[in-house]
Chains A and B, each alone.
Chain A
């Protein structure tokens, strides 16, 4: 279990007290600048934070860098990349902290890539790919790090806007794959902008507003009132195939201003 107690990233996020059971998928939503990325970076131990951040009663920030790299993986938002490197080299870097045999690494890479439809990209130059393609390659690298066949010790996975830049087809492929990984015991936290995908593909929603956790509950508690309060947006709720859908309708001015 992952627990945050009075967790705070100075000037950005918190204090937050919440916990996540193992094998759950948490979708983190919130307007731009509400602290989603900071929260994920803090949970990965990359930015300074105070309070408690526990995995099975151990403080994550006490872990060595090496051990942390085996226990968790994270996809940060895309970073600048200038020089050429082939995609298969980028993906293989995901297994760098792990101690695996070359043959099992190869079959895992092939498996991940076939799932993300990257098999034709392996020989291509990463720096020449489009944004969405680069995102998928980096996703493959990140997933490889916690891939159950390679790394049985992996505990949780943090993804910062993994759907950004992906087309619908690849968004659903990724969310399906995450669902499978979750069922194998991985705890997944994903920041996401699409309410409907969050509701349909995750178990719990955390909603951030100006660094505060204003909602943390199961997806069936998610409603249009929250959207209006946090995003200043009126939505229409409809029902299709037993699934709630929210359609953006108009910007609402009735609530207080968002502040960003």
Chain B
């Protein structure tokens, strides 16, 4: 088979997968918009929605659905990039301390709010979480570039910083009263309930950074072959690594800020995508985004429909349904490998 036909075949396979995923995301979004205590059937969509239905969808469900798409896609993207950048298949934003940093600062503000009597609005907590993620990134890059750089050094420092900030969070939990504790725990379990999308321009930098990360797939393919290979091809390793880490932290910081700590997606989605094909980052990066959105949408629908009144934290749903499926797939895939 000639190179041209191989490349052609590869491109087509890639397109088919991406289109299928996109279709699934669109369909699931429709289901997400329709489901809830006030059910909207397919017939309603077909015949045109009533005033109330439009209002419910636009004001209540659309922000939440968009949030699920953004957070799921963003977390999966961060996981896919970090796994390549750190040469480690278990890397995800949570592992290198970004989520811990974000949740520490958020918990700190919830704690302060409760114990001082000052009402801190939800967006204030989000901003705190975002700043926490950025501060951790700054610390991580500062420390890891003192002396020689290396992906394992970055990873180890991230893990250590994560443990340290988690310890601080635990101190706060220990000194919290019951009401504060409940709020903190719910926040840490992750939820799309505070799905506030306005103002819309908040999302512009998020989308730009995501698009930029997806466009870096060739550099990521080089980094995958090792630091020397990347440098030999003219890549400024330090600058590239730093830019990628900042982008990942920006996105995952925003995800944590808007939806709390949702584990599992960043770790597992890139693996699921790679189980589907042996393709390189040109495929796995955009496919991870779509698959992450899809997974979180499904988890959110389930979390809303398990119990009639109220809802489960979505992070718990992703982990308890996803993890067994993931273990099954891994065992089945690698059972005959060796």
Complex CA distance for A95 and B85, rounded to whole angstroms: 21
| Docked CA distance A82–B83 (Å) | 10
Is B228's CB under 8 angstroms from A83's CB? no
Number of contacting residues on A, CB 8 A? 40
Q: Which residues of A contact B281 (CB under 8 A)?
A: 85
**A73→B221 CA distance, assembly (Å):** 18
Check B120 for interface membership: any CB of A closer than 8 A: no
A65-B231 contact given A84-B274, A122-B3, CB 8 Å threshold: yes
Residue in contact with A82 in the complex, picked from B7, B10, B89, B228, CB distance below 8 Å: B89
- Complex Cα–Cα for A120 and B235 (A): 30
Are A86 and B10 CB-contacts (below 8 A) given A76-B226, A81-B224, A109-B3?
A: yes
Q: Is B233 an interface residue (CB 8 A)?
A: yes
Interchain CB contact under 8 A, B3 and A79:
no
Within 8 A of A (CB), among B66-116: 83-84, 87-89
Residue of A whose beta carbon sits closest to that of B337: A128
Instruction: Tell me the complex Cα distance, A88–B279, Å.
Output: 10
B1-49: which residues lie under 8 A (CB-CB) from chain A? 1-4, 6-7, 9-10
A83 with B84: CB separation less than 8 A: yes
- In the assembled complex, the CB of B158 is this many whole angstroms from the nearest CB of chain A, namely 18
Within residues 93 to 122 of chain A, which ones have a CB less than 8 A from any CB in chain B? Answer: 93-94, 96-97, 106, 109-110, 113, 122
* Inter-chain contact A106/B229, CB cutoff 8 Å: no
Across-interface contacts of B231 in A (CB, < 8 A): 46, 65
A41 touches B (CB below 8 Å) = yes
- Is B229's CB under 8 angstroms from A79's CB? yes
Given the complex, which residues of A lie within 8 Å of B232, measured CB to CB?
44, 46, 69, 73-74, 76
- CB nearest to B88 among chain A residues: A82
What's the minimum C-beta distance from A215 to chain B, rounded to whole angstroms?
27
Q: Given A74-B232, A122-B6: A79 and B225 within 8 A (CB)?
A: yes
Q: Does B178 belong to the interface (CB within 8 Å)?
A: no
Max chain B Cβ within 10 angstroms of own Cβ: one of A81, A94, A123, A128: A123
Q: Determine which of A64, A79, A86, A127 lies in contact with B228 in the assembled complex, contact meaning CB atoms within 8 Å.
A: A79
Give the residues in chain B near A83, CB-CB below 8 Å.
83-84, 89, 224, 274, 284
The 0/1 profile, CB within 8 Å of A marked 1, for residues 272-289 of chain B is 001001111110100000
User: For residue A46, which residues in chain B have a CB less than 8 angstroms away from its CB?
Assistant: 228, 231-232
- A116 to chain B: closest CB distance in Å? 14
Check if A65 sits within 8 Å of B235, measured CB to CB. Answer: yes
Nearest residue in B to A85 (C-beta to C-beta)? B280
B134 lies within 8 A of chain A by Cβ: no
What is the minimal beta-carbon distance from A96 to any residue of chain B, in angstroms?
Answer: 5
Taking a contact as CB atoms closer than 8 A, the residue among B9, B87, B222 that contacts A93 in the complex is B222
Q: Does B218 contact A (CB under 8 A)?
A: yes
C-alpha spacing A67/B234, complex, angstroms: 7
**Highest count of chain A CB atoms <10 Å: which of B231, B232, B274:** B232
Nearest neighbor of A158 in chain B, beta-carbon distance: B232
Kindly list the 3 A-B residue pairs having the minimum CB-CB distance in the complex, ordered from nearest.
Answer: A79-B226, A69-B234, A85-B280
Hey, which bits of chain B sit against chain A, CB under 8 A?
1-4, 6-7, 9-10, 83-84, 87-89, 218, 221-222, 224-229, 231-236, 274, 277-282, 284
A-B contact pairs, 27 of them (CB 8 A): A64-B234, A65-B234, A69-B234, A74-B232, A79-B225, A79-B226, A79-B227, A81-B224, A82-B88, A83-B274, A83-B284, A84-B274, A84-B277, A85-B279, A86-B10, A88-B7, A90-B221, A90-B225, A93-B221, A93-B233, A94-B233, A96-B218, A96-B233, A109-B3, A123-B1, A123-B9, A138-B229
